[in-house]
Chain A
Amino acid sequence: MNQMWWFSVVFLPLFPFSAVFVLLIKMLPNAWLRGIAFLLWPLAGVWLLEATQANLPDWVLYWALGTSLLYAFRALVIRELNLWLSYIAVSAWSILWVVLSGSDLTNLMLFALGFTLPMALMALLGGELKQRFTAAYGGLYGGIAQSHPRLSAMLVFTLLAVIATPLFPGFFTMMSSIMAQMLNSPVIAIGLLLIWLLWSWSGILLLQGLVMGPEDALSGLTDDLAVWRVGTYALLLIGMGIFGLSFAVVF
């Protein structure tokens, strides 16, 4: 039973098993399915770990850190939103292995949700982009900040949540991981900081490609997000913020 934790390396993806999730996201035909996948995939991994109650060998920690760093680095040049999101997801979920070494499984489920909720929302927003512009690709059109201000605002805030900025839950998860590793292994803590930096860098690059730029190519388009949809997305984001603040209680 103890060796069953190996199944988790697919759901809390570690390289090369991470390819399964990235391929799945590529294959799923619509945004809702992708959103559900982003939401449930890591929870399955955490559930498996809970079921096995395994004592993990130390080298898993380095494997997880390596995977996270690899995908965060590779995300730097990704301009397609769903692919970028799947890379960041792999990078973030690998960190849950690091959290695991300093936290109990109840917290791990919370932390997993903290990472996945913004990703699921981002997947839905990716669908909104595809629906309007046939692709969610940075640098292809740009300038939607002016033509679609409401959609842009939601994209910006959700992306900030994905790259673990305060007060979103990812921020506290990263804090918790770094806290857990600081004394045991400063190298891992520094690695986590590097990963965090790479997320920010790639996230801003993607954002600039999608949202910023002159609106010439899009002038005349008036299909911005409906107010009720913005309200729904905003409420979800606020909910995530409150959820994030509740994480601070863990400290």
Chain B
Amino acid sequence: MEYFVVMVPALPLFTAIITYLFSARLNQYVAQISVASMLLTLVAATALLYFALSGTPSADVSFGTSWGILIFDPLSSLMSVVIAGISLIVHVYSIRYMADEEGYERFFVLLGLMTASLLLMVAAGDLLTLLTSWHLIGILLYLLLVQNTADAPTQRYAMWTMITYRLGDLPLVLAAAVLFDAYGTWSLSELFAAIKQSPDVQTFGGFAAIEVAGILIAYSAFARSAQFLLHNWLPYTMSGPTPVSALMHAGIVNAGGFLVNRFAPLYMQTHDVLHLLFIVGLFTAIIGSVLMLSQNDIKKALGYSTMGQMGFMIMECGVGAFSLAVFHLIAHGLFKGTMFLGAGGVIGKARGSDGVPKHELYTFVVERQVAYRRQPWLLMAAITLAIPLLILVAAHWLVAQDYFQKQGAIVLLFFGWVTGAQLIFASYKMQTTNPWRLFTMIIASFAIVVLGYAMISHAFDLFLYPDPEARNLLYEAAGVDLIWFDLFVVVVTAFIVLGWLMVYYAGKSSLGSQIKNRIWVSFYALISREFYVMEFYSWVARKLFKLAHKMNTMLRWV
């Protein structure tokens, strides 16, 4: 088993070094060698996952130093398979896609190094190794993004990515320093055992070390996972090669969710940090989704979609559903990677014909033609609200009866309910020859999705956090006072109902329609400028450059 643990990150690293050294002689064979190496890596990672699934206990693989420790546990084995799998697909896709590009060999070398760094990150068993791999990923991503060295926008957006990643890297250094200072070890296993033993160790200013470190780690995760205010790089890095976009959206931005999960034993003992994750994640999910809807560029829309999904993933951590976040990041990685790799083909085909069959869904969604005859309002409202709730409750009750004791689970159920209700609500006005057949199909699909989601996420829960006490501790750490919880539910419900009412009355003339239009246009302007966040950052950067120039002139450039 130890052999496989070392082999997984070492194989792509070794291949990258060899192919770099002999790239002049190997030429196009660099790609074939890289793919073969990735295939072997995937086999080794799958073997590790098999060990984990068959109950092999977690272990550290150490080389006798305080750094360079590799960890074998369910999380690292699962993530290794995901990364190796996605990387293999990206490698295979790149063989032909990058064939006519400059720096073909360099691209594969960097791809190999990136995969090795990602695999090292998920297997890092000490803070130093984790930090090193975390930093390396940012640098390698920059080098991959600037593959086209002649394109100015590519350079600019790659730099944004690099700076944002650096902004996220550095708090992790502070977190490591705080934790080492408080507990005197680099080893993650020893650290988590020490935290469990004495969670109240204080750091500077009399603050609890785990609370401070928890916030700093969360901040690093926010930068890596493009949370609001640290998100601008994500939708703009589309000018990089498509395989890099696929790898980035499928395997790199997800690292925030992984990091939070890696430090789950720390977050179990915190009191308020998870609330921060919930708020930031929720806000990002909403903003990302709103921005996605306003894009007319498929890749940029995908970028904002990733932002929304990452927000949801962080929010899941914020409610204590850590394993669900891992399931989410894997599912998202797979579907988003597929979408990116397919985006070029779709754009190419759409140039000839949009290929959308003009049936009921098209006339409803694109042409916005609503049904002439509608179903009874009260009946539809009852179906809209009751059926998703019934399905959700039944599905979750089937997998775990104590599920409803946890606040975080209720929040997720609530979001699931709203989504289901939204789905039925949206189809209420759709033109169709047989509306009841349509609703039955929608409800059946929804039930299958919910049941599948509940069962898989429960299986993830049992695999990643087999100790029920640990699972409960995570939900407890995410809990809030009942008053605040109720207030939150009421506020969110009010917003959703308001949104539904706005949609229902949209297009109907009323006395306030002019004012409404003006507000709507202003809101749209705000979204189309992406909340002026980038303008603000550019303004700050210009001011800083001006100040630096002024200082240099004053000091006569010495």
Contact = CB atoms under 8 A, between A and B. Distances in A.
Interface of A: 18-19, 22-23, 26, 70, 73-74, 76-78, 83, 143, 145-146, 149, 152, 156, 160, 165-167, 171, 174-175, 178-179, 182-183, 186, 189-190, 193, 196-197, 200-201, 204-205, 208, 211-215, 248-249, 251
B548 A205 contact: no
Interface string B515-558: 00000000000000000000000000000110111011001011
A160 B139 contact: yes
Interface string B204-227: 110000000000000000000000
Contacts of A83: 557
A70 B551 CA distance: 9
B167 to A, nearest CB: 7
A77 B177 CA distance: 31
Contacts of B150: 143, 145-146, 212-215
A83 B556 CA distance: 12
Nearest to A203: B162
B19 to A, nearest CB: 14
Interface stretch (B33-41, B141-149, B255-263, B485-493): B141-149
B180 A179 contact: yes
Closest 7 A/B residue pairs (Cβ): A145-B149, A182-B177, A19-B558, A193-B170, A166-B132, A22-B558, A77-B548
A10 B154 CA distance: 41
Nearest to A174: B173
Contacts of B174: 178, 182, 189-190, 193
B132 A182 contact: no
Interface of B: 65-68, 102-103, 128, 131-132, 135-136, 139, 142-143, 146, 149-150, 152, 155, 159, 162-163, 166-167, 170-171, 173-174, 177-178, 180-181, 186, 203-205, 544-545, 547-549, 551-552, 555, 557-558
Contacts of A26: 558
A208 B155 CA distance: 7
A171 B135 contact: yes
A204 B173 contact: no
19 contacts: A22-B557, A23-B558, A26-B558, A73-B548, A77-B552, A149-B103, A166-B135, A167-B136, A175-B131, A179-B180, A182-B177, A182-B204, A193-B171, A193-B174, A201-B166, A204-B162, A208-B159, A248-B128, A251-B67
A77 B159 CA distance: 15
B170 A197 contact: yes
Contacts of A18: 558
A213 B139 contact: no
Contact of A178 (B68, B162, B173): B173
B128 A251 contact: yes
A176 B545 CA distance: 30
B216 to A, nearest CB: 10
B552 A74 contact: yes
B205 A186 contact: yes
A121 B415 CA distance: 56
Contacts of B558: 18-19, 22-23, 26
A204 B159 contact: yes
Given A146-B150, A189-B177, A200-B163, A165 B135 contact: yes
A213 B66 contact: no
A74 B551 contact: yes
B135 A183 contact: no
Given A77-B549, A193-B174, A208-B155, 20 more contacts: A22-B557, A22-B558, A23-B558, A70-B551, A76-B544, A76-B545, A76-B548, A77-B548, A167-B136, A171-B132, A178-B177, A179-B177, A182-B203, A183-B203, A189-B177, A193-B171, A197-B167, A204-B159, A204-B162, A248-B67
A81 to B, nearest CB: 14
Nearest to A78: B552
Given A175-B173, A215-B150, A205 B159 contact: yes
A182 B181 contact: yes
Contacts of A156: 143
Contacts of B557: 22, 83
Contacts of A73: 544, 547-548, 551
A64 B360 CA distance: 70
Nearest to A181: B177
A43 to B, nearest CB: 22
Contacts of A204: 142, 159, 162-163
A19 B142 CA distance: 34
B179 to A, nearest CB: 10
A213 B149 CA distance: 6
Contacts of A146: 102, 149-150
Given A74-B551, A143-B149, A178-B174, A249 B65 contact: yes
Contacts of A197: 163, 166-167, 170
A183 B163 CA distance: 27
A213 B155 CA distance: 8
A167 B117 CA distance: 12
Nearest to A193: B170
Among A23, A174, A251, the most chain B Cβ lie within 10 Å of the Cβ of: A251
A18 B142 CA distance: 33
Nearest to B17: A238
Contacts of B186: 251
A175 B66 CA distance: 15
Nearest to B21: A234
A249 B186 CA distance: 12
B102 A166 contact: no
Contacts of B181: 179, 182-183
Nearest to B547: A73
B16 to A, nearest CB: 14
Nearest to A19: B558
Nearest to B545: A77
A175 B205 CA distance: 21
A7 B201 CA distance: 42
